[in-house]
Each structure stands twice: as structure tokens, then as C-alpha cells.
């Protein structure tokens, strides 16, 4: 089945490593990926990735002290960019007032360009700071790597947001219960892959996550893959053709580099 990894930090891998990673992803059925930036420098690298990889550009809340670079709007308007982010609040970031200013600026940018907002919420105090900030009216919002509780899931559900689950779904019963209850049309999955000593997760690991979600929902593998594919198409306003296979094309392009 074709799977779509909706959150990967592809720009943080060296070219040869990225090419091998994408070949393994394609072999595992992961045929679409969304490469996500964390600051202005990585946004420049993300938009330079080969055509076929979908892209998100923005400033992670841990980097909020850097502010918004002047060229972020120009980068966000480049072909293949489908989201702003990851943006949000993090307990390990700078003062929440600083994070909020950067968050609001990214929400405004997403609204101007009609792009989805890739939302990051993590750490002590992050959820109250986010909930108090507002700023999401009229936006398509994807809560990336959801590890919140049922009350947070319900809050997002009332607003029509998408919840994207990562590998914690495989081991945490509370998240499994939430994933069973989320409306089918609002589910996404991701690996949030990035290079880190001792961390082995990569896009090819998305398929077992999809199969686990299928079991939780009582779906066949085919039903789950189709539902998640269509959810991503709607969340990021993408073409739906299965013939677009950036994992394969990107791997070939990087291999030539």
C-alpha cells in the first residue's frame, strides 16, 4: 500500500544518506514525504530539495528567539511548499511571549498564502500558552506528533484540525484510545525522522505504524492507506494522483548528486 510520511526532517541528512533513506522508504511503500524546516537556515535547505518532495517552511518554537527571517514569505511561496511550520510552543524554548510573537507571525503567513499550519506543542506550559494565543481562525491545522490527552484531542476535533500520530502510538494505550476515537477524516501518521545518535527511526518505519492504526480502527491495510492518503490530500491541498512518487524520484535525484 502507498503510505505518506507527513513529517520528515530530510534536510538534516547528508545527500548520500538521504538518497539511501529514500530508497529504503520507497521499498517499504512510503511514496510521499513532507520535508519540514525548523528555522530559516533549514527552510532554505528544504526548498532546495528536489521537486516531488512536499515542503513546510517555518520556525520551530525552540528557535523562536531567532525570529522570522525576511525571506520566509518568499520561500513559502516556492513550488512544492504546502505548509508553514513547524510552528507552535515548546516548554524548552525561549519565553512564551517570544514564542507567541513568532507563532502569530507564522499563522498570519499561512493565512495569506492559504497554506496549512504544521503545529508543534510539547513540554511544560506549552498547551496553556498555545490555547491562550488563539490565532488559528481560518487555518488548516495539523497537530504534528500528537502526544496530548483526550481533552486536547477533543479541542482539535471541535475545530476540524488533523491529528498526526508518530511511533508512540505503537506503545501508549492512551494514544491508542484517542486514535480510535478521532474522526477517520482527521487522522495522519508520520515518523518525524531526523538524524540523532541512537535514534533509528526513518520514513520506512511508517508502514508498521499504518498497519497498527489499521488494527486499532478495524480497517484493512487498504482501507487505512486510502483513508490516510485522502486525509493528507485534503489537509495540504495536494494532487491526489498516485503516480506522483517523490520518495522514488527524490532518491534518484539525490543519487545523481
Residue 186 belongs to a domain with what CATH number? Answer: 3.20.20.140
Consecutive H or E run containing 116: strand 116-122
Tally of structural domains, the chain = 1
> Which residues, listed in sequence order, are joined to residue 164 by a DSSP beta bridge?
188
Identify the pLDDT of residue 199.
Answer: 81
CA distance 226 to 162: 16
Mean pLDDT of 14-31: 94
**pLDDT beyond 60 at 246:** no
Instruction: Render pLDDT for 34-45 as a digit per residue (tens, 0 to 9).
Output: 999 999 999 999
Q: Give yes or no for a contact between 46 and 20, defined as CB atoms under 8 angstroms apart.
A: no
Pick from 40-44, 129-133, 166-170, 236-240: least confident:
236-240
Q: Which domain holds residue 173?
A: 3-256
DSSP letter at 239? -
Geometric angle at alpha carbon 109, from 194 and 47, rounded to 5°:
40
Q: Among 167, 226, 213, which Cα is nearest to 4's? A: 226
- What is the model's pLDDT at position 253? 34
pTM: 0.92
Q: How far is CA 143 from the centre of its chain?
A: 8
Share of the chain above pLDDT 70, in %: 93
Amino acid at each position: 500500500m502507498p503510505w505518506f510520511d507527513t513529517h520528515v526532517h530530510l534536510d538534516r541528512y547528508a545527500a548520500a544518506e538521504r538518497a539511501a533513506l529514500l530508497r529504503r522508504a520507497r521499498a517499504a511503500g512510503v511514496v510521499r514525504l513532507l520535508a519540514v524546516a525548523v528555522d530559516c537556515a533549514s527552510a532554505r535547505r528544504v526548498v532546495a530539495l528536489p521537486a516531488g518532495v512536499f515542503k513546510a517552511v517555518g520556525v520551530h518554537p525552540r528557535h523562536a528567539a531567532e525570529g522570522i527571517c525576511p525571506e520566509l514569505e518568499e520561500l513559502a511561496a516556492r513550488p512544492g511548499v504546502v505548509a508553514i511550520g513547524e510552528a507552535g510552543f515548546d516548554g524548552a524554548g525561549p519565553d512564551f511571549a517570544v514564542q507567541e510573537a513568532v507563532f502569530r507571525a507564522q499563522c498570519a503567513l499561512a493565512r495569506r498564502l492559504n497554506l496549512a499550519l504544521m503545529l508543534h506543542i510539547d513540554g511544560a506550559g506549552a498547551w496553556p500558552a498555545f490555547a491562550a494565543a488563539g490565532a488559528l481562525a481560518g487555518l488548516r491545522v495539523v497537530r504534528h506528533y500528537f502526544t496530548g490527552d483526550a481533552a486536547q484531542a477533543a479541542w482539535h476535533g471541535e475545530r476540524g484540525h488533523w491529528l498526526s500520530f508518530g511511533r508512540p502510538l505503537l506503545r501508549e494505550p492512551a494514544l491508542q484510545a484517542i486514535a480510535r476515537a478521532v474522526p477517520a477524516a482527521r487522522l495522519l501518521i508520520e515518523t518525524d525522522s531526523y538524524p540523532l545518535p541512537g535514534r533509528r527511526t526513518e520514513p520506512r518505519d511508517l508502514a508498521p505504524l499504518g498497519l497498527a492504526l489499521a488494527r486499532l480502527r478495524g480497517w484493512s491495510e487498504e482501507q487505512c492507506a486510502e483513508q490516510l492518503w485522502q486525509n493528507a490530500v485534503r489537509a495540504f491541498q495536494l494532487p491526489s494522483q498516485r503516480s506522483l512518487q517523490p520518495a522514488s524520484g527524490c532518491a534518484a535525484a539525490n543519487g545523481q548528486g
